[in-house]
Structure 1
């Protein structure tokens, strides 16, 4: 008899030692490790959803003591107040819903960071030059940002990510199952997250250990969601 799986939140490990480094992200990792010796005020971590931007940003946050801010914070709080405890700021999903007031506030914040020798780490899906900014002065400032791209995972990284995602859920799987999945899912972190969650739900619902048969059934069940990730 099937058990109804509960949608409990999963807390991934986000330490520096948990970040998996391969050729697809080693350049971005090098820029994080190079801080505070950056050539410009801002560094933009750019990559698709689930590519590890937030994980790497968390590593930098721990390293630098940066203050995390949101797009909403930009226009709600004066730049001086945002910088009253740190000369380093972290702004995730930076290209999302930047309105005119947000752009003005971000420009002021950038200028103040430049005056104080501070730094700004941005995460986004696209480089700042593709953000369709309305404010020319902000566009010119962000055009000087160093862009560090996190690319699609290679085979080794995708397998390592699958192992880590299962481990984050306190699940142990064998190499054969990991290789089976790596050959059958789209080459993206989002796909890995989707399929691991689907396998976990199915194994829990059926009260079975995770096998290739369970994984095959979960893949079929998640086919629509995986196809949507590729569009």
Structure 2
């Protein structure tokens, strides 16, 4: 029998406020985002590991503040004065450590947004001092910004993250699958993302439902 072809289906990530599950790992960051008019200096940094919910919080904030969202790597060559006409969220500032031009653009955007009376949200992995920024003026601005840290997930948050990742892919695992994964997997958001992707691919290729047995095969293969 020929193997079923794998079809790449769209992943529809839910990024609304109602889709954001609050736990001790993210409650402080969410509280700061929702209280954005009171940010010290009109700016905030959200720091956390890959997959921890930084982008979700960015979209929650953008909906509240009518802000624009741009990746830090796209700042080079962008019209900075035009961006600064409204509040802005800059994602993944740690990714521009090797780009002096992008760092310079972020520095000018930072100054212009605040000078125009708008607010600035920046995300990155780890604390700003560990982003590898080489422009001293930008580094000092980032280190002088309030940081909201997202922590690695507890059991409850990890369960919800897995459920959301499955839902984003229009998948419905058997009820005992997620509790099994929570007990067996590496405790990180990135591990959750990879596991769901692997289970999706294996389920498609073998035309099997996502069960604890299938999850066990993926866990043991890693």
TM exceeding 0.5: yes
User: Residue 41 of structure 1 contacts residue 145 of structure 1 at CA under 8 Å; is this kept in 2?
Assistant: no
1:91 equivalent in structure 2: 90
Alignment-derived partner of residue 69 in structure 2: 68
What residue number does 1:203 align with?
203
- 1:42/1:142 contact within 8 Å kept: no
Taking a change above 3 Å as real, the CA distance of residues 168 and 100 of structure 1, as seen in their structure-2 partners, is: closer
Match of 2:81 in 1: 80
Q: How many residues are matched? A: 220
Contact 1:165 1:196 in 2 (8 A): yes
CA contact (8 A) 1:49 1:190 kept: yes
Runs of 4+ residues over 4 Å off in structure 1: none
Report SS of the residue matched to 1:208: coil
Match of 2:37 in 1: 36
Structure 2 counterparts to residues 1-231 of structure 1, below 5 A: 1=1, 2-84=3-85, 86=86, 88-98=87-97, 99-221=99-221, 223=222
Partner Cα distance (2:218, 2:24) in 1: 30
CA distance in 2, matches of 1:165, 1:70: 22
Render the CA deviation track for 1:10-46: whole Å, top value 9, x for unaligned.
Answer: 1111111111110011111111110111012321111
SS in 2 for 1:68: strand
Secondary structure at 1:36 match in 2: helix
- Cα deviation, 1:83-122, whole Å, max 9, x if unaligned, reads 23x1x10111112124223233222222222222221111
Question: Secondary structure at 2:195's aligned position in 1?
Answer: helix
Deviates more, 1:105-114 or 1:121-130: 105-114
Displacement of 1:156 after TM fit? Answer: 0.5
Q: 1:154-182 deviations in whole A, cap 9, x for unaligned?
A: 00111111111122222223442211110
Cα distance in 2 between the residues matched to 1:161 and 1:206:
25
Give the conservation status (yes or no) of the 8 Å contact 1:44–1:127.
no
Q: Do the aligned partners of 1:198 and 1:219 also contact (CA within 8 Å) in 2?
A: no
Cα shift at 1:78: 4.1
In structure 2, the CA distance between the partners of 1:72 and 1:163, relative to structure 1 (3 Å rule), is closer
Partner of 1:228: none
Deviations 1:118-144 (CA, angstroms, capped at 9, x unpaired):
211111102222223332222222222
1:142/1:4 CA distance change after superposition, 3 Å: same
C-alpha deviation, 1:56, in angstroms:
1.0
Query: 1:226 — aligned with what?
Result: none
Structure 1 residues 204 and 124: alpha-carbon distance in aligned structure 2, compared to 1, 3 A threshold = same
